[in-house]
Amino acid sequence: MKGRIVLLDTLGDRPAAALVVDGRLEDLILDPVDDTPLTGAIYRAVADRPMKGQGGLFVKLPSGSGFLRQTSGIAPGQRLLVQVTGPAEAGKALPVTTRLLFKSRYAIVTPGAPGLNVSRRIKDEDDRAALGALAADVMAEAPDAMGLILRSACAAAEEDEIAADIAEMRALAEAVLADLDGSPELLVEGAGAHETAWRDWADPAPDAVVEGGFADHGVIEMIDALRTPRVDLTGGGHMMLEPTRALVAVDVNTGPDTSPAASLKVNIAAARDLPRQLRLRGLGGQVVVDFAPIPKKDRAILDQVIRAAFKFEAAETNLAGWTTLGLYEMTRKRDRLPLADLLPDGI
C-alpha cells in the first residue's frame, strides 16, 4: 500500500482517523468515549481562586474547572475566554490558556498576536508574496490586535479556497471575542478525529481519502500492535515503551546483533522511530530513554539524529539531553489522551 492515505472510520462506534504512509501507520486520532472536552475547545470561563504555590489559578467551566497558568492582571470573578490545550490527567483540572487560536485547514487566526505570517515550509518566494498579499486583503478590516498564520497546505490550494477559509476563521474569532458576558459556557467545540484529519493532514496532500477501510488496509492490526510496549527495530533490536505515573520509560536493546556498531545502529533506529511511537500511543510528559550503551564520543551522532527526528513534531518537545547516569531526558506536551485509555476492547 504505497502513498499517503487518510482513512476515516470508527472504533467502538467512535470516530477515528488514521494516516498511513507507504503501509506504515504515522498518526492515529480517536475520539474519547465520554463527554471529555476536546483539545481546542473554547469556553467562556470565570476566574476562581489563585494557586500561588502552583503558579496559576483555577477557572470555572460549565462542568468542572480548568487550570490557567497565565495569572497576570486576572482577578477572581473576572470573565475570561479560554481554550483547552490538552487532556486532563486523572484527578486534575483541564489545562487551558487565554491565548486563543482559531485553526482551520489553511489559516490560523491569532487574537492578541498581530501580524501576517506564512508558513516557513512554503519556500517559493513568489508563492509567499502572493499569499501575503491575499492575507493582507482578507484581514484588512480585522482588529489591529488580530493576527494570521497561513499554513503550509496553502501551497497546493486555490486562492478563493484560502480566502474563504481565512474569512470564516476571522468571522468566528470576532464573534467569540465579542461574547464575553454571561456564565461559563462552551463557545466553540474542539475538533474531533475526522475534522482534525481534514485540517492537519493536508500537507502533503494525501493520495487518497478513504471512508472506512481500517480493516481492508490493515489498520486494525497496526493499532493492535500498539497495545504491547515492545517495538521491533531494524537489525533485530527492539525498544520497550512503558508509561508510569511519573514518566515514560524507554529501554533500547540490541538483540542478537553483537557487532561493534550494534549499539549505535539500534540507537539510531530507536531515535528515528521514537517520535512516531510517542505520538501513536498518546504518551507525553517526562520521557526518559535508556539507550543501548555507546561511547560518549558517539553521543554527538545520536544527538543529531534525535534533533532531526523531533524537528517537525507538532507536539511541543523539549530535548533536555543526557544525565550523569547516561540516560536521555526529554519532555513532550500531552496533546492527546493515552491510546491505552481510548482503545475499545476486542478490536
pLDDT at 169: 97
Q: Decide which of 329 and 49 is more confident.
A: 329
Q: DSSP class of residue 137?
A: H
pLDDT grade for 347, boundaries at 50, 70 and 90: low
Residue listed under C-alpha cell 540490541: 254
Q: Is the pLDDT of residue 74 over 90?
A: no
Helix (H) or strand (E) holding 18: strand 14-21
How big is the chain, counted in residues?
347
Averaged over 211-233, what is the pLDDT?
94
Residue 346 has pLDDT above 60, yes or no: no
- Which pLDDT band, with edges at 50, 70 and 90, does 341 fall under? confident
- Packing angle between helix 159-177 and helix 125-138, nearest 10 degrees? 40
CA-angle at 314, arms to 310 and 317, nearest 5°: 50
Please check whether residue 120 is in contact with residue 165, taking contact to mean a CB–CB distance below 8 angstroms.
no
Q: Distance (Å, rounded) from C-alpha 78 to C-alpha 59?
A: 9
| pTM, full prediction | 0.91
Question: Which of the four pLDDT bands, split at 50, 70 and 90, describes residue 295?
Answer: very high
Domains of the chain: 1-31+192-225 (3.30.420), 42-97 (2.40.50.140), 102-191 (3.30.230), 228-342 (no CATH)
pLDDT in tens, 240-279: 999 998 999 999 999 888 888 899 999 999 999 999 999 9
What are the Cα distances from residue 8, in Å, to 41, 90, 92, 129?
21, 29, 31, 35
Contact of 150 with 118, CB cutoff 8 Å: yes
**Residue 155 DSSP class:** G
CA distance to 27, 145, 157, 207, 213, per residue, from 263 (Å): 28, 52, 45, 37, 39
Q: Which of 253-257, 300-304, 324-328 has the lowest mean pLDDT?
A: 253-257
Task: Name the grid cell of 218.
Answer: 490493515
Q: Residue 156 contacts by C-beta under 8 Å, 6 or more apart in sequence?
A: 203, 205
